Amino acid sequence: MDSIHDLGGRQGFGRVRYTLKAQTFHEPWEKRVNALYSLAVKLGIFNMDEYRHAIERMEPRHYLSASYYERSLTSLATLCVEKGILTKEELERRALGAFPLSMPSAPGRTNVPDRQQFKVGDKVQVRQDYVPGHVRMPAYVRGKTGVVVGISPAYPFPDAHAHGVKSEDEPTYDVRFRAEELWPNSADPAAVHVGVFESYLEPSS
């Protein structure tokens, strides 16, 4: 899903702002939101891929203006409404006003049927896939080539897991890319490592 959340490698946003030893929480409501979404995952109301996708589905202007925990709250509320735990009317009655939710979800997909296993040292290329639903492939590596330098255990395939679609678990491959290839004429020589699911990769000659 190419959405406003996928900002990796994009220009025009200035330097990344950060604070050394920053507080994890700034307001009491942030702790409650964090605890509630963690509890919802533990209880099986939704999974982490559904949670991430609900954030991705936020209206772009809302996403860019929202804080970290406001995005968590929007995802939590959206999924609770979609799962029938509560209604939007109940939310707005308690909020004493409008309560913005994420936009509707697109369908997911199962594993790519022709996916292959790779080993350390293999040269691979990221598929030119444009997925309407949830995907854990950064847009800046689409179509790029790299080298497998590590392999993880298998995890639920996020493109399916976020949508309740049946699929097989897949490993992710630690793929090393050259920064100069990812961003031609715009990057210093460097290695960029990305964890890439098996269905996102194909052999490169």
Q: Which of 49, 75, 105 is the last residue of a domain?
A: 105
- The reply to whether 75 and 154 lie within a common domain is no
- The reply to whether 6 and 100 lie within a common domain is yes
Residue pair 175/196 in contact (Cβ under 8 Å)? The answer is yes
- The reply to whether 81 and 135 lie within a common domain is no
Structural domain contains residue 134: yes
- The reply to whether 161 and 88 lie within a common domain is no
What domain range includes position 161? 123-203
Structural domain contains residue 100: yes
Residue pair 142/126 in contact (Cβ under 8 Å)? The answer is yes
Q: Residue 133, exposed/middle/buried by CB under 10 A (0-12, 13-18, 19+)?
A: buried
CATH number of the domain that 189 lies in?
2.30.30.50
- The reply to whether 191 and 143 lie within a common domain is yes
What pLDDT score does 1 carry? 62
- The reply to whether 91 and 131 lie within a common domain is no
Which of 111, 202, 203 has the alpha carbon at shortest distance from 154? 111
What pLDDT score does 138 carry? 93
Query: Which residue in the block uniquely carries the two structure tokens 């050394």?
Result: 20
Task: Give first-to-last CA distance, the chain, whole Å.
Answer: 27
CA distances from 50 to 126, 143, 156, 195 (A): 23, 26, 12, 19
Structural domain contains residue 33: yes
Count of the separate structural domains present in the chain: 2
Structural domain contains residue 114: no
Which of 85, 91, 128, 88 has the alpha carbon at shortest distance from 104? 88
- The reply to whether 101 and 134 lie within a common domain is no
Both tokens of 100, joined, read 């913005």
R_g (Cα) of the chain, nearest Å: 19
pLDDT 10s digit of each residue in the chain, 205 long? 677 777 777 777 778 788 888 889 999 999 999 999 999 999 999 999 999 999 999 999 999 999 999 999 999 999 999 999 999 999 999 999 999 999 999 899 999 999 999 999 999 999 998 988 999 999 999 999 999 999 999 999 999 999 999 999 999 999 999 999 999 988 889 999 999 999 999 999 7
What pLDDT score does 5 carry? 79
Question: How big, in percent rounded to 5, are the helix, strand and coil portions of the chain?
Answer: 35, 15, 50
Structural domain contains residue 36: yes
What pLDDT score does 125 carry? 97
CATH number of the domain that 73 lies in?
1.10.472.20
In SS3 terms, 53-117 reads as HHHHCCCHHHHHHCCHHHHHHHHHHHHHHHCCCCCHHHHHHHHCCCCCCCCCCCCCCCCCCCCCC
- The reply to whether 15 and 81 lie within a common domain is yes
- The reply to whether 129 and 197 lie within a common domain is yes
Structural domain contains residue 116: no
- The reply to whether 193 and 134 lie within a common domain is yes
